[in-house]
Amino acid sequence: MDSDGTLWQRRFGDDPAEALRALNDSLGFDRRMFREDIAGSRAHAAMLAAVGLLTGAERDGICDALDTVEAEMADGRFVPNAGDEDIHTAVERRVTELTPAGAKLHTGRSRNDQVAADLRLWTRTALGEVAEAVLELQRTLLGRAVEAGEALMPGYTHLQQAQPVLLAHHLLAHGWALARDFHRLVEARRRADVSPLGAGALAGSSLPLDPALTAAELGFGAVFDNSLDAVSDRDFVVDALYALAMLGLHLSRIGEELVIWSSTEFGFVELDDAYATGSSMLPQKKNPDVAELARAKAGRLIGHLTGLMATLKGLPLSYAKDLQEDKEPLFDAVDTVRLTLTALNGLIATTRFDIDRLSQQASSPYGAAADLAELLVTGGLAFREAHGVVAELVRRSLDGEGSLADLVAADERLPAEAAALFEAGAFAKRRSTPGGGGAEAVAAQIEKFRSRIDADAGRFRERE
> Of 220 and 319, which has the nearer Cβ to ligand ARG?
319
> Of 40 and 437, which has the nearer Cβ to ligand ARG?
40
Alpha-carbon gap, residue 209 to 195, rounded angstroms: 14
Angle between helices 289-312 and 327-350 (to 10 degrees): 160
DSSP-assigned states of every residue in 228-248: HHHHH--HHHHHHHHHHHHHH
Alpha-carbon gap, residue 372 to 415, rounded angstroms: 10
> Of 233 and 257, which has the nearer Cβ to ligand ARG?
233
Minimum separation from the CB atom of position 92 to ligand ARG (A): 12
CA of residue 30 relative to chain centroid, distance: 21
Q: Which stretch binds ligand ARG (CB under 6 A): 218-226, 316-324, 342-350, 388-396?
A: 316-324
Among 39, 54, 115, 148, binds ligand ARG (CB under 6 A): 115
> Of 78 and 353, which has the nearer Cβ to ligand ARG?
78
Q: Kindly name the residue from 3, 44, 110, 158 that is annotated as catalytic.
A: 158
Alpha-carbon gap, residue 245 to 239, rounded angstroms: 10
279 in catalytic set: yes
> Of 115 and 246, which has the nearer Cβ to ligand ARG?
115
> Of 331 and 422, which has the nearer Cβ to ligand ARG?
331
# residues near ligand ARG by CB under 6 A: 9
Q: Kindly name the residue from 3, 279, 403, 451 that is annotated as catalytic.
A: 279
Torsion sign, CA atoms 126, 129, 135, 140: negative
Alpha-carbon gap, residue 366 to 357, rounded angstroms: 17
Among 6, 99, 112, 445, binds ligand ARG (CB under 6 A): 112
- Are 228 and 197 in contact by the 8 Å Cβ rule? The answer is no
Among 26, 123, 318, 359, binds ligand ARG (CB under 6 A): 26
Q: Is 9 in the site for ligand ARG (CB under 6 A)?
A: no
Q: Is 311 in the site for ligand ARG (CB under 6 A)?
A: no
Write b or e for each residue in 252-286: b if 16 or more Cβ atoms lie within 10 A of its Cβ, otherwise e: bebbbbbbbbbeeebebbebeeebbeeeeeeeeee
Question: Taking the CA of residue 234 as centre, how many other CA atoms within 13 Å lie in the half-sphere pointing to its CB?
Answer: 30
Q: How many other C-beta atoms are found inside a 10 Å radius of the C-beta of residue 140?
A: 19
Minimum separation from the CB atom of position 80 to ligand ARG (A): 14
Q: Is 323 in the site for ligand ARG (CB under 6 A)?
A: yes
- Are 69 and 91 in contact by the 8 Å Cβ rule? The answer is yes
| Gap between the terminal Cα atoms of the chain | 38
Q: Which stretch binds ligand ARG (CB under 6 A): 66-74, 111-119, 238-246, 340-348?
A: 111-119
Minimum separation from the CB atom of position 45 to ligand ARG (A): 19
Judge if the upstream peptide bond of residue 3 is cis by omega within 30 degrees of 0: no
- Are 194 and 399 in contact by the 8 Å Cβ rule? The answer is no
Minimum separation from the CB atom of position 32 to ligand ARG (A): 12
> Of 84 and 217, which has the nearer Cβ to ligand ARG?
84
Minimum separation from the CB atom of position 143 to ligand ARG (A): 42
Q: H-helix or E-strand containing 59?
A: helix 56-74
Among 111, 120, 250, 297, binds ligand ARG (CB under 6 A): 111
Rg (alpha carbons) of the chain, rounded to whole number: 30
> Of 115 and 334, which has the nearer Cβ to ligand ARG?
115
Minimum separation from the CB atom of position 84 to ligand ARG (A): 11
Q: Which stretch binds ligand ARG (CB under 6 A): 110-118, 219-227, 378-386, 432-440?
A: 110-118
With vertex at residue 71, the alpha carbon angle to CA 67 and CA 72, rounded to the nearest 5 degrees, is 115
Minimum separation from the CB atom of position 342 to ligand ARG (A): 29
Among 161, 287, 306, 324, binds ligand ARG (CB under 6 A): 324
> According to CB under 6 A, which residues from 53 to 92 bind ligand ARG?
86
Minimum separation from the CB atom of position 96 to ligand ARG (A): 18
Question: Taking the CA of residue 431 as centre, how many other CA atoms within 13 Å lie in the half-sphere pointing to its CB?
Answer: 24
Q: Which stretch binds ligand ARG (CB under 6 A): 36-44, 59-67, 287-295, 317-325?
A: 317-325
| Amino acid present at 118 | D
What residues are annotated to the active site? Answer: 158, 279
| Residues at the interface with ligand ARG (CB under 6 A) | 26, 30, 86, 111-112, 115, 319, 323-324
